Amino acid sequence: MAYNEQYGRYVGMVEETLQALLPEGGAVGPKDGEIPEHLRASMRYSLLAGGKRVRPVLLLAACEMLDGNLEEARVPAAALEMIHTYSLIHDDLPGMDDDDYRRGRPTNHRVYGVGHAILAGDGLLNYAYECLLQNALSYPLNLEGHVKAAAAMAGCAGVRGMIAGQSLDLLSEHMEPDADRLAYIHKHKTADLMTAPLLAAGHIAGADGEKMKALARFGACVGLAFQIDDDLLDLEGDAKLLGKQTGMDAKRGKMTWPSLVGAEAAREKAHALWRQAEEALACFGEKAWFLHAFAVALATREK
């Protein structure tokens, strides 16, 4: 199957699952057992705003590569996108990055107000775990695999993972650039949530220790390279094409690789990481064709 066709198939599964887990509501008043309309709308606004679905596609692709049951991975993939989306909604809030646009549209709090943007984010984070737990219970023969997958995702998204990176990122604004600190921020703020789908897929599909290590390595390299490219896009990219303001990192005094080592050296660092990501796939042989192509596609996205 061609890469684009396969990518479309995975994205289709993700969109379908997200729609099923958070369907449009009727225009009724608050009713027990349903998500209230305003909350539901604010969650859907950010969750169903398109985007590349990088993380859930990684989860589905890794699961299929490992001969896992793709159906079992649907909800975990969707849950991971909920976690990613909540982090964007909260990141955009006043007091955090205070952004007005995201994916070419006004940010959540600009449409629903700060209070509901906080709740929409909390709601997506909590609902991710609610869905993960219910999904785990619906596969009693693979319950342990699913709980391990959810635990790995929680670890990557949590206070030693993504949230740790966000915390340091926030504290480091207007600080002197520092390579150790920046490496920590990128590893946790971005790479951990790219590693999460690979670990989750490994647990769902019952991968062995060696394969888990290779998956983690692939995720970490892709995540770090992705973040460096993102910083380069913010520095040099086209705001219209990206659907968001550029030049914001400099304006906010954010620590980035280009600000630390210059754009050219940052580009080289990203190239090296993309290469390491591909090398990590060696132990999966031919079966890794999609993840190979995926890394290439991400590495060459419009800059």
The least CB distance from residue 75 to its own copies, in Å, is: 13
CB 62 within 8 A of CB 202: yes
DSSP-assigned beta bridge partners for residue 106: 101
Tell me whether residue 123 or residue 291 sits nearer to its own copies (CB atom).
Answer: 123
Cα–Cα dist 147/138, whole Å: 12
Residues 6+ apart with CB under 8 A from 125: 82, 83, 86
Tell me if 5 contacts its own copies by CB under 8 A: no
Cα–Cα dist 194/65, whole Å: 17
Smallest CA-to-CA distance from 132 within 215, 55, 73 is with 73
Binder of its own copies out of 67, 71, 100, 144 (CB under 8 A): 144
Tell me whether residue 34 or residue 279 sits nearer to its own copies (CB atom).
Answer: 34
Tell me if 137 contacts its own copies by CB under 8 A: yes
Tell me if 163 contacts its own copies by CB under 8 A: yes
| Two tokens, residue 289 | 């064709």
Tell me whether residue 39 or residue 293 sits nearer to its own copies (CB atom).
Answer: 39
Distance set, CA 3 to CA 8, 136, 139, 282, 296 (Å)? 9, 30, 30, 19, 11
Tell me if 159 contacts its own copies by CB under 8 A: yes
In this structure, the dihedral spanned by the alpha carbons of residues 107, 233, 8 and 78, taken in order and rounded to 10 degrees, is: -50
Q: Which helix (H) or strand (E) holds 104?
A: none
Interacting positions 177-236 with its own copies (CB under 8 A):
180-181, 184, 187
Tell me whether residue 11 or residue 163 sits nearer to its own copies (CB atom).
Answer: 163
Binder of its own copies out of 55, 102, 109, 189 (CB under 8 A): 109
Cα–Cα dist 83/171, whole Å: 22
The least CB distance from residue 230 to its own copies, in Å, is: 20
The least CB distance from residue 207 to its own copies, in Å, is: 17
Tell me whether residue 125 or residue 270 sits nearer to its own copies (CB atom).
Answer: 125
302 DSSP assignment: -
Tell me if 26 contacts its own copies by CB under 8 A: no
Can you list the alpha helix ranges (DSSP code H) found in the chain? 3-21, 37-47, 54-65, 70-91, 108-137, 143-157, 162-171, 179-186, 192-205, 209-236, 239-242, 248-252, 257-261, 263-280, 289-299
Binder of its own copies out of 1, 2, 5, 140 (CB under 8 A): 140
Cα–Cα dist 202/145, whole Å: 9
Tell me whether residue 94 or residue 262 sits nearer to its own copies (CB atom).
Answer: 94
Tell me if 248 contacts its own copies by CB under 8 A: no
Tell me if 119 contacts its own copies by CB under 8 A: yes
The least CB distance from residue 228 to its own copies, in Å, is: 19
Tell me if 116 contacts its own copies by CB under 8 A: yes
Return residues touching its own copies (CB under 8 A): 29-30, 32-36, 38-40, 43, 86-87, 90, 93-96, 109, 113-119, 121-123, 125-127, 129-130, 133-134, 136-137, 140, 143-144, 147-148, 150-151, 154-155, 157-160, 163-164, 166-168, 170-171, 180-181, 184, 187
